[in-house]
Amino acid sequence: MGEIVNRRVRELDPLPTPAQVLATLPLSDKARRLIIESREEVRSVLMGRDDRLLVIVGPCSIHDPHAALDYAHRLSSVRRELEDDLLIVMRVYFEKPRTTIGWKGLINDPDLDGTHKINKGLLLARQTLLDVLDAGVAAATEFLEPTSPQYLADAVTWGAIGARNTQSQVHRQLASGLSMPVGFKNASDGDVSVAVDSVLTAAQQHTFFGIDHRGRASAVETLGNPDCHVVLRGSTSGPNYDEESVRNALRIIERKLGTVRIASRGVIIDASHGNSGKDDIEQARVVRALAQRIAHNEKGISGIMMESFIRGGNQQAAPLEQLEYGKSVTDKCISWEVTDDLLHELATAVRERRACVTAAGE
């Protein structure tokens, strides 16, 4: 058999089963309550029953769990202060999609040195999620491949499917079985239609290959996820957060979804990536522009995403002891000080929007 299978596989290193990892690192009662409550709050915002703005904010990717928890404690304080106006969920991303090659994230390479200790990375990622939750902050993450959710999804309030995977049948099927709202980003070329197709597909029932909590190969049968929605993240040719782009996206959503039972007909706008050229200074400008539009009661914007960390900008990935504390090793992030200002500006915008609605008798 060695002559015809696994000829390009160097090693098959067994991992603990999801059940073993969840038993070793279980959710606390506090974390469980936070997840249940925050998932329902996100659904309510997406459906328009809650007039707050959903804000998904945090590092582009987690490389230092200590710095991530430091950030979570800062965010927790602001989250409580602004909870009447903003529903804040922290980005806690562990899997980094690459255009070609590069550091693939904490799960794949926790020591940032090319040793790829996935056994260690899985446990470290889950512990980081638990620590963030126990700090009082709900968590969001991107699901890059179909196995990791069995280890992490119970601790996640909001999930994302990235631009590179939004057309993937595997990811649409995965989202159909996830227990939280999931945002599909427009394709990297800017095509919004494929993200809407993903929302429609993920709302349906599916049967596909997967694993269960004991790590056994299984035929997974899902009920469909009505809480999926579109994320506008710009494209390789430019941004799509302007008013006309948002209106166009809303038109596509209405045309394609029709009477399908979907929670949200609005969009979340990602201020990073193609909408700011992955530049932290420009990203802050985008958020401020969106705040002004929200204050004037522009329709259809359910939430905003920001990439933010303790220190602004980014640095090259390297072993942790060689890195500047609290600075991204992937995309450029907005500094904490600027993030704090932006969150308060967004909260003010939501209050001004409420005043507009009241004045208009809506």
Q: What is the pLDDT of residues 93-128, one digit of tens each?
A: 998 876 667 889 999 999 999 999 999 999 999 999
pLDDT digits (tens, 9 = 90+) for 325-337: 999 999 999 999 9
Segment 347-356, tens digit of pLDDT? 999 999 999 9
pLDDT reading at 205 higher than 90:
yes
Buried b / exposed e over 126-135, threshold 16 CB at 10 Å, is bebbbbbbbb
Q: Which of 33, 19, 58 is nearest to 133 (CA)?
A: 33
Structure confidence by residue, pLDDT tens digits, 117-168: 999 999 999 999 999 999 999 999 999 989 999 999 999 999 999 999 999 9
Domains held by the chain: number: 1
Question: For 33-62, what is each residue's pLDDT tens digit?
Answer: 999 999 999 999 999 999 999 999 999 999
317 in any annotated domain: yes
CA 136 distance to own-chain centroid: 18
Contact 256, 330 (CB under 8 A): no
Residue 9 lies in a domain: no
Question: What's the CA gap between 348 and 355, in Å, rounded?
Answer: 11
In a domain, 53, yes or no: yes
* Residue 40 within any structural domain of the chain: yes
Please report whether residue 313 resides in a domain: yes
User: 């603990």: which residue's tokens?
Assistant: 16
**According to the model, what pLDDT value does residue 362 have?**
67
Residue 29's identity, in one-letter code, is D
Q: What is the pTM of this model?
A: 0.96
Helix or strand holding residue 54 (H, E): strand 53-58
Q: What helix, strand, coil percent values describe the chain, rounded to 5?
A: 40, 15, 45
Q: Domain of residue 245: give its range.
A: 18-357
In a domain? residue 3: no
Task: Look at strands 158-161 and 182-185 and give their pairing.
Answer: parallel
Average pLDDT of the residues in 291-310:
97
N-term to C-term CA, the chain: 70
pLDDT for position 328: 97
Q: What is the pLDDT of residues 207-250, one digit of tens each?
A: 999 999 999 999 999 999 999 999 999 998 899 999 999 999 99
Taking CA atoms, 78 is separated from 74, 149, 252, in Å, by 7, 29, 35
Q: In terms of Cα–Cα distance, which of 17, 153, 176 is closest to 92?
A: 153
Handedness of CA 264, 344, 160, 126 (dihedral sign): negative
Cα–Cα distance measured from residue 6 to residue 258, given in angstroms and rounded to the nearest whole number? 47
CA distances from 96 to 22, 59, 61, 324 (A): 23, 12, 7, 20
Cα separation, 319 vs 21, in Å, equals 25
| Backbone φ, ψ for residue 288 (5° rounding) | -65, -40
Whether residue 93 is contained in a domain is answered as yes
* CATH classification at residue 250: 3.20.20.70
Q: Sort residue 276 into left (φ over 0), alpha (ψ -120 to 50) or beta.
A: alpha
User: In a 10 Å sphere around its CB, with 0-12 CB exposed, 13-18 middle and 19+ buried, how is residue 208 labelled?
Assistant: middle
10 located within any domain: no
